[in-house]
Amino acid sequence: MTFGPASDDLVALNDLVAGYCARAVAPADDETLAADLLLKRSLINRLELDFARDAARFEATYTEDAYFNPSTVSWLRENANMTSHAAATAVCAGERAERLQLSAAALVDGRIGFAHFGWLATTARAIQASGSATAVFDERRLLAQAETLTVQRFRTVCDHLRHAADRAAFLEEQVAGREQRSLTLTAFEGGCVAVHALLDPEGGAVVRTALDPLARPLGRDDLRDREQRYADALVELCAHRLDQGQVPQAASQRAHLQVTTTLETLRHLRGAPAGELEFAGLVAGHSVQRLACDATITRVLVDARSQVIDVGRSERVVPGATRRALNARDRGCRWPGCERPPSWTSAHHVVHWGQLGATDTANLVLLCRHHHWCVHEGGWTLVHTEADGILALSPVVGVMTPLRDPGPVLPGALPAKAAGVVPPGTTQRSAAAPTTPRDHAHRAREPALPPA
């Protein structure tokens, strides 16, 4: 649907702006650039107020029959590419502009922005509509605050006023906001998953409070950007809940990741197939090795027709007593600058048990999820040094990072010998192995599973 033509004076302004925007941009010093930014924002603010006045005039005569939309706000949303909030603010600001003369003058002078003006207008409307005897709209007082506060802080002042005037209406707004909440998980080819979420303010605050501490950079080698750190923080938080057994069981089964793989993949042999991770599809052998570093393993033997002929007992790769000794020695991720505590780490085999590395404290080191990923998939390599330390070699040639020395083990920190019972709380990822017909032939020379 087309509308028009637009009024002559606006067409002339449009031509001026088009000519200005098409100019050759000359290099400018910082001071000129700063002044340009402020003047441009002031012009945009004035146009916003002018737009709001027009929107209010449009609203005054708007009929659904003429424009095939239930309201001016929805018409603006569809035709002017605005959000509902921006469109509703424009209409409200335009309707109040004549009565908010002081604020309109402050906007023209550049003392407040249009966002401030929008909150002044919606607050005036809310207080007057509430009929509250106690809350009054004092433009002069509120404007003085708008002139000194950022938009975000000024909005808080306005919200307090609106709540004081009509808490039922305030609650209604919050409930309506919460009704829009959603989270969708969309799987892409290759196993990646897109997470799209809209949370109510409290839900958003809960998520941010939980993710922020986990999303901080982990030491000086951490080259992840902010978005990558937030993505890792979300996965780390979920993985920790699974590791701790704090996710409700389904069909009497503890929730955990399930990887199916072959002996060849665990041994990291050339020509070995990829692993299969439930909900994710195929994962690289490097990832299988990481997940198997500190997991519960179930051996499944199949015959040439892929029929299961034997299912072994589930065994923990790192026995509880060894894990407790590691917790006492390493006290968290050993990567320099990383402070994840023991329950947020996995026990990494410097020489993988699939390649006959021992599951003892000399060959094990605690690493957080991110640093464990670095040494399996990220190209870093851990090696023992002659001085009993461990060195991390970066994929960038010549960069080496000595891992933090383990602390002295405090008397009484080590567990009683041979507890023999699998304690809750240590890492519990599962890897079911092996399932190819060839396994039968390999059985005689399988590497010994780490002692349970």
Which residues between 264 and 303 bind Zn ion (CB under 5 A)? 290, 293
> Which region among 57-65, 130-138, 167-175, 360-368 touches Zn ion (by CB under 5 A)?
360-368
Q: Name every residue whose Cβ is closer than 8 Å to that of residue 67 and which is 6 or more positions away in sequence.
A: 75
Count of chain residues binding Zn ion (CB under 5 A)? 8
**How far apart (Å, rounded) are the C-alpha atoms in residues 313 and 315?**
6
Closest separation between CB of residue 283 and Zn ion, Å? Answer: 14
Task: Choose between 96 and 267: whose C-beta lies nearer to Zn ion.
Answer: 267
Tokens encoding 116:
């401030």
How many CA atoms are closer than 13 Å to the CA of 67, on its beta-carbon side?
Answer: 18
**Which of 90/338 has CB closer to Zn ion?**
338
Smallest gap from Cβ 294 to Zn ion, in A, equals 7
Stretch that binds Zn ion, among 53-61, 75-83, 363-371, 438-446 (CB under 5 A): 363-371
Minimum distance from residue 263 beta carbon to Zn ion (Å): 18
Give the 3-state secondary structure percentages of the chain, helix then strand then coil, rounded to 5: 45, 15, 40
Range list of β-strands (E), 129-192: 182-187
219-258 footprint of Zn ion as x/- string (CB under 5 A): ----------------------------------------
Q: Smallest gap, in angstroms, from Cβ of residue 376 to Zn ion?
A: 6
Residues 6+ apart with CB under 8 A from 71: 62, 64
Per-residue interface string for the shown chain with Zn ion, residues 159-178, x marking contact by CB under 5 A: --------------------
Residue 141 exposure: Cα atoms within 13 Å on the Cβ side: 8
Among 371, 406, 429, 430, binds Zn ion (CB under 5 A): 371
What is each CA distance from 287 to 110, 263, 266, 275, 348, in whole angstroms?
Answer: 57, 14, 10, 8, 13
Q: How far is the CB of 293 from Zn ion (least distance, A)?
A: 3
Say whether 215 sits in a helix, a strand or coil. Answer: helix
Taking CB under 5 A as the criterion, the residue among 120, 368, 382, 431 binding Zn ion is 368
Distance of closest approach, residue 393 Cβ to Zn ion, in angstroms: 15
Q: How far apart are CA 362 and CA 365, in angstroms?
A: 8
Distances 369 to 335, 376, 378 between C-alpha atoms, Å:
11, 11, 12
Contact 326, 334 (CB under 8 A): no
Q: Which residues within the stretch 328-357 sit at the binding site for Zn ion (CB under 5 A)?
A: 333, 335, 338, 348
Provide the minimum distance between the beta carbon of 346 and Zn ion in the complex, in angstroms, as a whole number. 6
User: Which CB sits closer to Zn ion, 173 or 339?
Assistant: 339
- Give me the residues that bind Zn ion (CB under 5 A), please: 290, 293, 333, 335, 338, 348, 368, 371
